[in-house]
Amino acid sequence: MKTLKIFILALFATVAFFSCKKEYTIGGDLFKAQVNMTTYDYLKTNHAFDTLVMMIDKMQLKNEVNSSGTFFAVTNYSIHSYVALKKEQLGIIRNDENLTFTFDSLDFNSLKDSLRAYMFKDKITRDNLSQKGIYPKAQDGEYRLVQLRPTTDYTNNIFTTNPQYIYFTKVIPKVPGGPVPVDIDAVQLVDPRQLLSTLCQTTGIITTTGVLHVLSNSHTFTYFGDVNN
């Protein structure tokens, strides 16, 4: 009986550990991951960003990435999804279902501002976020909503309050070509269908040059397919 009790306690501790660990990885910022390297160099150490690093190199934006206070990084999946959708679109336009279109087919010069849309001058951390959020201007000149959103994913009473995830949101016009809000108060009044939100799957990586957040693998680079492109 004593052995059984010890086993049950050990099992509970293991479940609790991995439940908490999930929060560390998905959206949470319960740790402060500080790395002694630049944002660009950190991206190069992680294979999840191999395609992103190639894109940065082809665009010659390494210095801009490192000079940004905050960078919301997209993973290989996000860029691969973008390439696949571009190929599908061009195949329809050209009526060529066998169209050859790869990552190297992209017009990297014209996509520079698309990548700048994920870069911000100021450092954005959980410490300066709330559920209302902030609405900073990205390096491409457009605004993005960055906010905390509570989750009810955890129902095992491990947390006394619901954890909050960081979301990165593009506000689109109510009608194509129409205006978008330029301040946070106006954002609160928009139709929820105007909000294209992406969960940050990893947050709070502090490099020697800024703050790095990582967007969910389900995010498509430039929001292609979600807005009129």
Interval 26-75: pLDDT, tens = 544 445 589 999 999 999 999 999 999 999 999 999 999 999 999 999 99
Buried b (16+ CB within 10 A) or exposed e, 89-122: eeeeeeeeeeeebebeebebeebbebbbbbbbee
First CA to last CA distance, the chain = 65
Fold of 30-223: FAS1 domain (2.30.180)
pLDDT in tens, 98-155: 899 999 999 999 999 999 999 999 999 999 999 999 999 999 999 999 999 998 765 5
pTM of the model: 0.84
Domain positions in the chain: 30-223
